[in-house]
Each structure stands twice: as C-alpha cells, then as structure tokens.
Chain A
Amino acid sequence: MILYVVLDGITLGVALLFGAFADERDRSILVSTIGPVWDANQTWLLFGGGAIFAAFPVVYAVLSSALYLPLITFIMGLIFRGVAFEFRDEGPRKRLWDRAFFLGSLVAVLSQGLTLGGLLTGIAISGREFAGGPFDWLNPFSVMVGIALVPGYVMLASAYLVLKTTGTIQLRAYTFVRGSTQLVLAFMVLVTAWTPYHYPAVLEHWLNPPRIYFVWTFPLLGLLAAYRLTKGVRKRRENAPLAWAIVLFLSGYLGLAASLYPYAIPPHLKIWDAAARPESLRFTLWGALFVLPLVLAYTSYSYWVFRGKTDETEKYGG
C-alpha cells in the first residue's frame, strides 16, 4: 500500500508538472521558464507509466487497450508539443511552432481528460483483459472531465508563472490564477455530483463508515486551498498561489482515489487483483527506496541552479 501511495504521488506529480506547460503560448519568456527543466518533467510521465506497468500490470494492460484512442492521441499531442517546444528556439518559423506547441498541448490535455473520464465511467473487463469496444470511453461525462482539465492546468501554470516572472506577465498571471481557480472549483463540484450517477457505489463509499469519517476532509481541504490561493493573489504573494494550487489539485486527486478505493478500475477490478507478484513488487520497491531519494536530490539541485526569475536569454541548446 505504501507503494501505491508513492506511485499515486508520482503519477500525480506527472499530471501537475505537465499542467505547468498547458498555457505556455507564444512568448519566449514563458518558454524559457520551463526550458531547463522540461525534460525532467517529461521523464516523470515515463516513470508513472513504467511504475504502473511494473506494479499493476493488469491495470496498465487493460487501461491502455480500453483507452487506446485517447491515450495514443494524448501521447501524440505530447510529442508534438515537445518537438514544437524545442524547434521554436532554433530559429525561423517561430509562429508555426508556437501554434503547434499550443495545439499539441491542448490535444494532450483534452485527451488526458478523456482518458481519466473514461476510466471513471467504468471499463468492461472479462477475466484479466479488456472486453469492450473502441469507443466505450466516449460519453458526456468524459468530455466534461476533458474540458475541466483545461482550467485546472491553466491555474497551475499561471501560479507557476507568478513565481517565475515579473512585470506585466506576472500581473496577467495573477488574473489568470483567480479566474481559473473559480472554474476549477465549479468543475470539481460538477464532477463530485456527477460521478455517483456513473458509479453508484461511490455514494455508498462516501456515506458509510469508515470512509464517512474522512472522505469529507478532501473537499474541505480543497475549499481551504482555494481560499488561501485567492487571498495570496489579492495580496500579491509570489509563493502562495503555486503552493495552494498544488494543494487544491492534491485534494481533488486524493478525493477521487479515496472514493474509488479499493477499485483500481471501476466497476470490476480491485487493486490487489491487479498488482504484480510480491517478488517483483519487492524488487521495484527497493529500487524506489534507494534510487528515488537520489533522483529527487539531484533534480532539486538542478532546479536550484536555475532558481530565481527567468531571464530571456537562456535558450534551449543555446
């Protein structure tokens, strides 16, 4: 279970860090805020994928066959975003690559939301493999989740920009943070109200012990975060928006996880039926225990080297 928390934290981190990119449009300065660190962020996605594959192979296999189309589209969006990001700095045709950068990110976020929504609405399984059709994931709920992720990532990204930039960009970022936070809250309410419709067991989970005692803490935490975030924006604090935006996201994800547990894939597959063999889990867990702290240490070092406000001259490969 510890492993599960670790993994969830990481996939979470992936989603969070990726969010920071979703709103980066056509200004070099925005791009250079993420320039030095984006490869590391991309690696967290790979790690998330690898960790799920190693720890919960059935989840990995079933999900990726069931959500084949949105997942592949998501990855393609990412690829497009990634190379557009890199090539735009290499010289001519900046505008073209800016457009590719934006569209790639948008496609990635929308299809990521569709993937998540598709998971929440349940997946047909027989035995240990997917048994549904190619478009099972497509329904109003998953479309809604897809759209909901956009303000979510805008919120994270603009809170990050508040921290990393100065002047007019920072001022505009403050405005974005506030607007997107309100949208995020609205969507969170919507998701909370809508999920039980697709997945009635959630209501039972919420309303019965032991979960009734703590499941309410997540929305409360979310509200607190939103409040502190808005306050931080009003007082023009630089650090508060990002920190609380992350907490707001965490509250959403943990709330979902706590509601779904013990199901890894609703409505059939439970988490322990999906896990890998204990000897394999031990092997990967030891790896995580020893190597991950090291990874975190040198990644922080790299962030530390590039700390402070971004200056415009630092270009990719420059």
Chain B
Amino acid sequence: MDLLSDPIMLSRLQFAVTIMFHIVFPTATIGLGFYLVVVEALWLLRREELYYRMSRFWGKVFAINFGVGVVSGVVMEFEFGTNWARFSTLGANVFAPLLYFEVLTAFFLEAGFLGIMLFGWGRVHRGVHFLATCLVAGGSVLSALWIVAANSWMQTPAGFRLVDGEFVSAGFCAAIFNPSTLIRFGHMLTAAFETTAFAVAGTSALFLLKGRSTPFFRRSMAVALASAALFAPLQVYLGDVSGREVYVHQPAKLAAMEGHWTTNNGGGAPFVFAAIPDTEGERNRFEVSLPDVLSLLVTHTLSGRVLGLKEFPRHDRPNVPVLFASFRLMVAIGFLFLAIMVWALLLWARDRIFEQRAFLWTLVVIQPLGWLAVELGWVTAEVGRQPWLVYGIMRTSEGVSPIRAGNVVWSLTLFVVIFMAIGGSYLYYVLRAFGMGPDMASPIPPLQRPAGRKIVDALADHET
C-alpha cells in the first residue's frame, strides 16, 4: 500500500520517530542524574572544591538535556490519543493509570525539585540542595520504572480480563509487575548509567588529550570510569537474563532476533553469528554459526528446544532482517564496552590510565556507540513486538485512530522539521557548554543561609 495514504504505517513511523528522538534525553537525564548525585555526595563528604565545580559543569549539561527531554516527552503522551485512539479506548483501564502515576509520582518530583537543583545553590542549605539533586535523580529513575512497566505490559500483558474486547483491570500489581517489567527496567536503567558514564568519560578524554583543565577532567573521568566498571559487566549479565525472558514469553520475537527459522528437534540450536536473513525463502544467506550455543544461551542446556520462526504463521512474524541486525549490533556494543573496561583496568593497575593516548582516543571515538545501543535496544523491543500492539491479544492495525492519513502526514512533517531544529540546536549548545569549559572561578555559595534570601545579602553577611 502507498505509504502516504496508510494511517497505520504513518502512525507507526511517527511514533518511532518521536520515541527515537525522545529516548536519548531521558537516558542522559537518568545517567547524568546518578552521576551528579555521586559527585555532590563526594563534595559534601570530602569538601574538595573540584567536586563542586564538577557538579556545576555537568549540571549545566544536565539542564540543557532535561528541558529537551520534557518537551519531547509531552508529544508521546498525546500520541496515544491522536494516533492510537482505539487502543486508548480499549486499553485505558489498565494502561492509562500507569502513565498517570508516572506523571503523579515521578514527573512532579523531578520538576518540583529541578528549580532548586539548578537555581537554588545560593538559596538553600547544602544538605537541602543535595536532597533536591537526589530527588530529581530518583524521580527520573521512577519515571523509567512506570514507563517500562507500561511498555512491558504491552509486551507481556498480565493483570487484566477481556470484557467485550475491552481490557479490564484484574489487579494493578500484576499489571505493573508483569513478567518482563523488572528485568527490562534493570536493563534500561543500566543502559542509561553505562551509556552516560561512557559519554562523560569520552568527553573528559577529549579534554585530557587537548590538555585543558586537566585536574578537573581527570577527576570527572575517574568517577565515570569507576561507575562504568560496575555497569558494563552488569549489563552483559542483565542482557542475558532479558534474552531468556523473551525466549519464555515472546518466542517469535526471540526466533527473529536470532534468525532461527527451524525448531531444533533433537540436538541443540545453533547461534547465528552473522547472516543475511531471507524472509521470502525462510532461511539465512551467508550464515556463520556456532552449533548448540543458542540453546545454551537461552535454556542453559546444550540441546534445549528453541521454537523456530516457521512455527508461526507469516502474518504473526515480526520483521526478521531488522531485528536480527539491531539485536546483533546492540550485543556487539555491549561486549565492546566490556572489553574496553578490561583494558581500563589493566591501565589503571599500571597507573597509566590518564596518559595512554590510544586509550583516551578510543574513549572519544566509541562515545556515540552507547546511544546507538540504546536506540537499537528499543528497535529490538518494539519491532519485535509487531505485529502486535498488546502481545498476542491486540494487533497494531486494530489500535489505530479513525483518522485520515493526511493528518498524520501533516504532524509527521512538522515533527521531523522541529525535531531536526531542536536536535541541531541541542548539539550546538551542549558543544558550546563544553567549549567554554568548566567555570573554576565563581564564588562557592556560603555554607548556610536561610531560604528565600538574595545571594547578594548573604554574601554581604558573609563578609561582615
């Protein structure tokens, strides 16, 4: 069908564009929020000025990022109604409260304390400021829990009954903590921490290579690499757990991710290393594979049975080439990051971590890969859910709004233009903030001062 007159494909495309633009920002918000909590805690504990400077510098990047995240997220909430009205009507009883609680418990928390976190340095006590930073960071984590719960409910629906085609709640606990929520939440959270840690390390490495503000960026990089050392191996493990969860609950998705066409009856399923999947011919071209490894990965036995794609009717299969490629690339990036951390550990042991130029350049170059992996992860999750909107129950084509395609052409065009403008300006301003470097000179706000007073008065008090 002609794309421009198909509201289903257009709506899917529009949602994909929106979410792929949006996800970058919350990822950075969660990751940088965590980083800022660590840095500010270090400042309060050790009272070293460097940590205060780090809070302010990375806090500035956080602020630019946060604003774009909020505004790009607003679109998504309304798109459920504008583009997926039938799903919104039938699914709302279970699905809508999750979004509602996300705003109520998480967004308000972030927004309420963001003002203090960004502008309040001179207005509140240090302890209160730290609390505000923690609450903003905590709010971003909580919002990830709700939104991953909502998405996971679409992946592995639970806690509902169907009444005349309408989803009716049968226990919100079961719906929120459906089989895939917790593991996917962990996977996403770790992705945010790890990606941001590598982004901070990469940026710091560039400054170190240029020899600018060396003490500042050494410390920034040290904190970032320390957290990456924790999260890189954790993510590989969580990825494995996540894969087994998909194997249990979404076998067609797993088969497509792995390019696994025929069920292995007797003998293990091979792990396809690289191939070009051929959807028409139901096979892989140029396949390079390791025998039995797929069974080993998902069933933890050498001959575990893994359902192949041929078990599912063609109209129930997701897009194999897209899934196969995006999943493989994401995994490759995960292992690459792990390898880099091993290298970092070796350098650290020899005390060469800030000097070894090849290592610093590697950090600079691989920096974008974390973001790419986050995008690929969501492509895997969402393309893998197709052709279902609510997995196994409601098809995507059944959820779309009763609207003309022209509406979506208008909004999609508007989105693409505006997102490009915003994305471009965002990059420009972040790079500019980096270009200006950290501010090492402005006075540190005095230790204690009652809230609500002007900084000028307080400074005057401080001097007298």
Contact = CB atoms under 8 A, between A and B. Distances in A.
A80 B72 CA distance: 10
A75 interface: yes
A211 B75 CA distance: 38
Contacts of A306: 115, 119-120, 123, 452
A133 B68 CA distance: 33
Given A42-B70, A86-B67, A277-B93, A295 B410 contact: no
A283 B176 CA distance: 12
B101 interface: yes
B288 interface: no
Interface stretch (B105-113, B245-253, B362-370): B105-113
B59 interface: yes
Interface string A268-305: 00000000110110011001100110010011011011
Contacts of B407: 68-69, 72, 134
A51 B429 contact: no
Interface residues on B, range: 35 or more
A51 B411 CA distance: 24
A312 to B, nearest CB: 12
B115 A283 contact: no
Interface stretch (B227-235, B293-301, B397-405): B397-405
Given A71-B82, A295-B108, A305-B120, A79 B72 contact: yes
Contact of A83 (B89, B115, B425, B433): B425
A299 B109 CA distance: 9
B452 A40 contact: no
A225 to B, nearest CB: 29
A317 B60 contact: yes
Interface in B395-449: 401-404, 406-407, 410-411, 414-415, 418, 422, 425-426, 429, 432-433
A223 interface: no
Interface stretch (A54-62, A173-181, A188-196, A232-240): A54-62
A115 to B, nearest CB: 11
Contacts of B52: none
Contact of B418 (A58, A76, A287): A76
Interface residues on A, range: 35 or more
Contacts of A83: 67-68, 71, 422, 425-426
B352 interface: no
Contacts of B418: 76, 79-80
A305 B112 contact: no
Interface in B148-170: 168-169
Interface in B96-146: 96-97, 99-105, 107-116, 118-120, 123-124
Contacts of A42: 70-71, 74, 111
A307 to B, nearest CB: 6
A263 interface: no
A284 B81 contact: no
Contacts of B109: 295, 298
Given A129-B89, A306-B119, A317-B59, A46 B103 contact: yes
B159 to A, nearest CB: 11
Interface string B61-90: 001101110111111011011100110110
Nearest to B115: A36
Given A61-B88, A65-B402, A277-B93, A302 B116 contact: yes
A268 to B, nearest CB: 15
Contact of A76 (B67, B88, B406, B414): B414
B147 to A, nearest CB: 12
A318 B92 CA distance: 41
Contacts of B414: 72-73, 76
Contacts of A187: none
B115 to A, nearest CB: 4
A302 B103 CA distance: 18
Contact of A305 (B85, B99, B115, B410): B115
The B interface is mostly helix, strand or loop, or mixed, namely helix
Interface in A84-137: 85-87, 90-91, 128-131, 133-134
A69 B120 CA distance: 39
A53 interface: yes
Contact of B452 (A39, A65, A304, A316): A304
A267 interface: no
Given A73-B414, A291-B105, A305 B451 contact: yes
Contacts of B269: none
Nearest to A39: B111
Q: Find the residue from A79, A284, A298 having the highest chain B CB count within 10 A.
A: A79
B94 interface: yes
A308 interface: yes
A36 B68 CA distance: 16
A39 B67 CA distance: 8
A91 B115 contact: no
Contacts of A129: 85-86, 89, 402
Contact of B97 (A37, A280, A307): A280
B92 A54 contact: yes
Contacts of A304: 451-452
Contacts of B86: 61, 129
B112 A50 contact: no
Contacts of B80: 53
A15 B214 CA distance: 49
A166 to B, nearest CB: 13
A65 B401 contact: yes
Contacts of A72: 78, 82, 407, 410-411, 414
A46 B104 CA distance: 9
A65 B96 contact: no
Contacts of A61: 81, 85-86, 88-89, 92, 401
Closest 3 CB pairs of A and B: A64-B81, A57-B92, A317-B63
6 contacts: A53-B80, A79-B418, A295-B112, A298-B113, A301-B112, A306-B452
Given A72-B411, A308-B454, 18 more contacts: A46-B107, A49-B78, A54-B96, A57-B92, A65-B82, A72-B407, A76-B418, A86-B63, A87-B429, A129-B89, A130-B402, A134-B404, A134-B407, A277-B168, A279-B169, A305-B123, A317-B60, A317-B118
